Amino acid sequence: MVKVSLQGINCIRSKLKDGTVREYHYAWRGKGAPMFWRSDSGVKVGSPEYLAALAECTPKGDLARGQFREVILAFLDSQDFAKLSPRYRKDIEISIRHPKNGIDQKFGTAPIAAISDPRIRGRVLAWRDSIGGKVGDDRVRHLQRIVKWGLDRGRIAQNQLANIASIYESNRAEILWHPEEIAAFEKGAPPHIARILIAATETGLRPGDLAQLRREHIHPTPKGQRIVLWTAKGKRHRRVASIPVTPRMAQIIAQAKGDHIITNLAGEPYQHGNYLGDAVSTWRDKLKLRSDLRLYDARGTAATRLFLAGADLKEIATHMGWSIKHASQVIERYVALSPEMTDTLADKLTRIETGTVLQNELQNGNPKIR
């Protein structure tokens, strides 16, 4: 449960005719204060959605004047922010407004001059290290973007956050979801969570693409169905993925009650791919599966399954929305580490060698095989 300070927020409780008590939150006390939350909205106090609603109606003037929050709000209103991809804007907003370790929570009330002080670098590094992993690196990259923007606009005197090296190195080539792990997850997790992992291993789609997968992306074919959609990895790297619908994926599509294929327990679509990954990780831990497994590893699992099924690089690239070069690199990393691949190659070599021996015997006229 995230605790959020309600200092400065005007909380009003009202008793309805039927006896129900409803609570309303206003951005500040006094006449003209906008209401940004009500208890029947379904949004939890302290959630990213709650804080985003508060930020939307918070004055951008005197309340933040002289604080780093003034730079943050100006950046969010800028054309530089508006031209970013929707997904990247969402990532930055989460980094800024995260209630526990977000940029605004940690540095928003600091004087603008403090951001130019050389000592800020050490505090930012300590903040990143306390978060850890890729998330910590992402937070720093998003903070660096805001500070650089402020420097270019003359709002910040010096950039003390340039050239900060990442601490997270992504090397997950050895991590695949094994069939028995997928089966255990499907058996033990709630159906709406299990569908996330099954859909990922059957399609190879990124979590963000799974969150956006809708019925309009499913197209009939002479032999069944096909998923066709633009993948969402930034504007420059977007590609069309064309994915045959497997029997297991067809079952998931048939079970979907609304327009979105993957939904939460309430039947609502997930707002961000991170929520899918969090849900899978939570149940991975509850089921005591390997702690290094992630939802994203389902992409390598899906690519490996395609290769084991006999698909060539062009087919895999089309399926996954990759370039052929990238497909080659990924397959080289993943399939070499799949235990099933070693057995398959051994069988192929045995068949080739047996066939060669048989052909030589026939050519030499061995009467035993006539």
pLDDT-derived band at 300 (thresholds 50, 70, 90) equals confident
CA–CA distances in Å: residue 138 to residues 167, 198, 316, 317? 11, 28, 30, 28
Return the SS3 of 210.
Answer: helix
Return the pLDDT at 1. 38
Whats the size of the chain, residue-wise? 370
Q: For the segment 311-366, what is each residue's pLDDT rounded down to a tens digit?
A: 788 887 777 767 777 777 767 766 555 555 555 545 544 554 555 444 555 555 55
Residue 176 has pLDDT above 80, yes or no: no
SS3 for 345-360 is HHHHHHHHHHHHHHHH
Residue 223 has pLDDT above 80, yes or no: yes
Mean pLDDT of the chain: 80
Count the neighbouring beta carbons within 10 Å of the beta carbon of residue 14.
11
Can you give the residue ranges of every domain in the chain?
1-43, 179-323
Higher pLDDT residue, 211 or 320? 211
Higher pLDDT residue, 28 or 152? 152
Return the pLDDT at 90. 85
The predicted model gives 146-173 an average pLDDT of 85
Return the pLDDT at 318. 74
Higher pLDDT residue, 3 or 204? 204
In Å, how far from its chain's centre is CA 115?
Answer: 30
Cα 298-225-322 angle, rounded to 5 deg: 45
Percentage with pLDDT > 90 across the chain = 31
Phi-psi region of 171 (alpha: psi -120 to 50; beta: other; left: phi over 0): beta
For the ranges 5-9, 183-187, 319-323, which has the lowest average pLDDT? 5-9
| Rounded-to-5 percentages of helix, strand, coil across the chain | 55, 10, 35
**DSSP state, residue 33:** P
Residue 171 has pLDDT above 80, yes or no: no
Residue 11 has pLDDT above 90, yes or no: no
Q: Please tell us whether the domain made up of 179-323 is placed in CATH 1.20.120.450.
A: no
Return the pLDDT at 218. 93
Return the pLDDT at 179. 86
CA–CA separation, 189 and 193 (whole Å): 6
pLDDT-derived band at 369 (thresholds 50, 70, 90) equals very low
Return the pLDDT at 364. 57
**How many CA atoms are closer than 13 Å to the CA of 280, on its beta-carbon side?**
27
Enter the pTM of the model: 0.52
For the ranges 44-48, 201-205, 226-230, 325-329, which has the lowest average pLDDT? 325-329
pLDDT-derived band at 31 (thresholds 50, 70, 90) equals low
Q: For the segment 68-125, what is each residue's pLDDT rounded down to a tens digit?
A: 988 998 898 899 999 988 878 888 988 888 877 889 889 988 999 999 999 999 999 9
